[in-house]
Every structure is written in C-alpha cells, then in structure tokens.
Amino acid sequence: MRIAIGTLVLPDRLLSDVRIELDGAGVVTAIGPDAASAPADMAVEVAAPAFANTHSHAFHRLLRGRTHADGGDFWRWREAMYAVAGTLDPDGLRAAATAAYAEMVAAGYAAVGEFHYLHHAPDGTPYPGHAMERALADAASAAGIRLTLLDTVYLRGGFGTEVTGAQRRFTDGTVERWHDRWDALRADLAVTHPEVTLGAALHSVRAIDPDRLAAAVAGLPTDIPLHVHLSEQPAENAECRAATGLTPTVLLDRAGVLDARTTVVHATHLTDGDVATLGAASVSVSMCPTTEADLGDGLGRAADLAAAGARLTVGSDQNVVIDPFDELRRLEGGARLVSGRRGVLTPEQIWRAGTSDGHAALTPVGATRQAPAVGRPCDLALLDAASARTAGSDPHALALTATAADVLGTVVRGVHHASSDRRRLAVDALLRREPAHAR
C-alpha cells in the first residue's frame, strides 16, 4: 500500500510531498519524497502521527450528559459512577467500550490505555474466562484501535476501610490473587487477543495498603507499562498524610513504584518536592484536562513537571469529551492560567504529549512507537486543514486550532478508518446498550 501526503506534521518538523509504503501487515517499509513513480492507493493533503489516549475508563462514557445538573464535587460524581458500574455485565461493557473506542478512532486516536477495574460480577464473583477483559479486547478490535489493557489492583475502599458496594467487583482480595489472575489473563490474551498489550495499574494509594505496594509491583514483569492514579484530589493527599505521614508521591517512590515505565495519572495536587521526585524518576504523566475540568479537580503543574524531567501525555479518562485536540489545547491553556503567560509549552512539546510520548506510555519498555518510521505500524490522523476552524493555521498550530471534527479518518496499523464510519459505529453501540426509555 502507498500513501501520498501533501504535508506531514511531525512534532519537530514539517515534511512536504511524502510517500509512505506499507507491507501487508500495515508496517512502514519505506518513507521518503513522493516521486510519483507509481500511483498512490491513498492521497491526503495533511496528516500527523495518530494520537495516543493514555487514560480511559470506557464505561464512564455512559455518564456523559447525565451528571451536570447534580452539581457537587468529585466524590458526589463518584457515587453516580458507582451506580453505573454496578449494572454492567460483559455484554454491557462491550457495548459501552465499543462506543468509546470507535469515537476515539474517529477523533484521531490509534491507541488507548484502558485503566480497567471492573473485573468481576457485582457481588465479587469472578466471571469465567476473563469475560470482562475479553469484552474490552473485543470492543477494541471492533473499533479498530490498539488496546493497552491496564489491569488494575484494588484491595480496599480507602485508608482503613474495606471495599463496599460496587467496589466489591473491583477487588481480587489480595495482591497474590491479583497476580495469579494477571498471569492467567496474560496467557489467555496471548491466544484470544494477541494484538492486545497487557499492562498493569495500581488504582491509587487509597486502594492498596501501603505495605503491599512494593509487593504488588515486585510480582509483575519489569518491562510492562505500569500506571497509577496520583493526587487527583486534595482529600486523597490529606488522608495519605494522616495515615502514613507522607505524600502519595513519596509513598509510591519509597515503595519502588516510580521509574521510567510508570505513568502517574492526573498528578494535580503536588508539592514542589513531589514534582522533583517525579521528574527525577522520569515518569510519564497522564493529564486529563477535559475530565479534570468537568469534575472540578483543579489545574495541574504541566510546565513544572516537564521542566523537572517528566514526560507529558493526555488521556480522556471519563470520556465526557473524546477529542485529543481539546485535551492538548486545555493542557496548554491550563499552563497559561497557572503561569499568566502564553506559549508555556512549545508546539513540539504539545505534539509529543499527544503522540510519541503518549505511545511510549502504552508500550513495553524498549518498544516505543515513533510513528511514522520504517519497521513500525503506520498510524496516522488525516486532517482537514481548510475547515472553518483550521483554515489559515500554521500546520504546527493545528494542535491548538483543530478539533475532532477536523479528523477525516485515522490509519491504524495501515488500515484506514473513515471518521464518519466510526461515529456511526459509536452511536449504534450506544443504542444497542441502552433501553428505549433511557434514550
């Protein structure tokens, strides 16, 4: 397959009149000037590396447009989320995830990290055959997105409290039983869904006893992606200090959780010492600006974290919005609001947060994807640079002027998915999921 691109927007440069050649598996075999020696199978005016969504809870998509009137804060919203979590079986999760993932592909995402903790039936009984995890893998396959399944350990309801209600389906009871299920899941996916990358996640410091954090990490392969919610709420920080005398960042660091394979999610409420620790560990930070705004979480310290040595990425989290451009624009906008100046993050930093650094957070150590490049799967977002929003933009500024509506299609592993087709799939999946009275 041959793809001819008028302008290829890379984080650090622009390339004109580019031809990319692919093999039958969608892997790039050649990239260079378009000499037009043979007709192209696809011709596009403007393209960029496809985006990576480093933090998703797919089932939260079912809450979109249904919680705003209730007001409150994160903790009140969480009760509504728990109510939805208590209703889902594998078929329901598959439908919700298909809708979310198809919308992601329509928006230009080629990869997603699913932070998954809906493991069991509502009463905590395990499903046979890893049914909930297979449902997510099925949904990713149907949508055409590359899935990193971040299987999550969740052992307690908070500092000093047991799991209750919907949380019962999140837990395996002990770190050892989680490790056993994780190993069995890896073997199952190797047969049923070999295209899925299995990673792991620690839900948060409030969901795992402090003296079990090190054991949770020690029982995992050392090269897999490892994610953890961190300091999303001031209340979490206060409870952690009261229980351990440490900030969540210091607690994780002392347990050996933080290193270059680790992605911390949100990291909104940090001390200066926390920022320095995260930077020194070379972690990735998954900031989710549309969710953090929706839940009133606060503005993170993107510029400080980047300056300290952390890598910035973006995620859609609760999927109240699925639009990588909105996430990136808010990432820079939040940095401006915090600092009182413009252009806090360079265009290169913004593009890398959405693309190469995001993909690195979702792949095993040493297997990062710097697309497009020879030997890598071809992942591209095909952009309309002449819409009412984008016309006249410098190509590198498209990260701050475009929206998901300006994505014409997404190439994932060499397969072209028209955005209009993916949007129809998303709607169809939701309509199948919801009873008529809820629509």
Residues noted as catalytic: 266, 317
Structure tokens at 69: 């009137």
Spacing of C-alpha 41 from chain mean position: 31
Q: Which two tokens stand for residue 433?
A: 């999921």
* φ/ψ of residue 178, rounded to 5: -65, -45
The string of DSSP letters for 258-286 reads -STTEEEEE--S--HHHHHHHHHTT-EEE
Q: Classify each residue of 224-263 as buried b or exposed e, where b means 16 or more C-beta atoms within 10 Å of its C-beta.
A: bbbbbbbbbbeebbebbeebbebbbbbbbbebebbeebbb
Provide DSSP, 289-315. HHHHHHTT-----HHHHHHHTPEEEE-
Answer whether 199's CB lies under 8 Å from 226's CB.
yes
Concatenated DSSP letters of 145-165:
-EEEEEEEE---SBTTB---G
The Cβ of residue 58 has, within 10 Å, a number of other Cβ atoms equal to 28
Q: With contact defined as beta carbons under 8 Å apart, do 178 and 216 qualify?
A: yes
Write the CB contacts of 207 (distance below 8 Å, at least 6 apart in sequence): 153, 154, 155, 156, 157, 158, 170
CB atoms within 10 A of CB 125: 10
Q: What are phi and psi of 395, to 5 degrees?
A: -55, -35
Residue 200's DSSP bridge partners are: 151, 226
Tell me how crowded residue 211 is: count the other CB atoms within 10 A of its CB: 9
Question: Which residues are bridge partners to 158 per DSSP?
Answer: 161
The first and second tokens of residue 359, run together, are: 């993909």
Contact by Cβ (8 Å): 60, 21:
no
Which amino acid type is present at position 436? A
Half-sphere exposure of 110 (CA within 13 A, CB side): 29
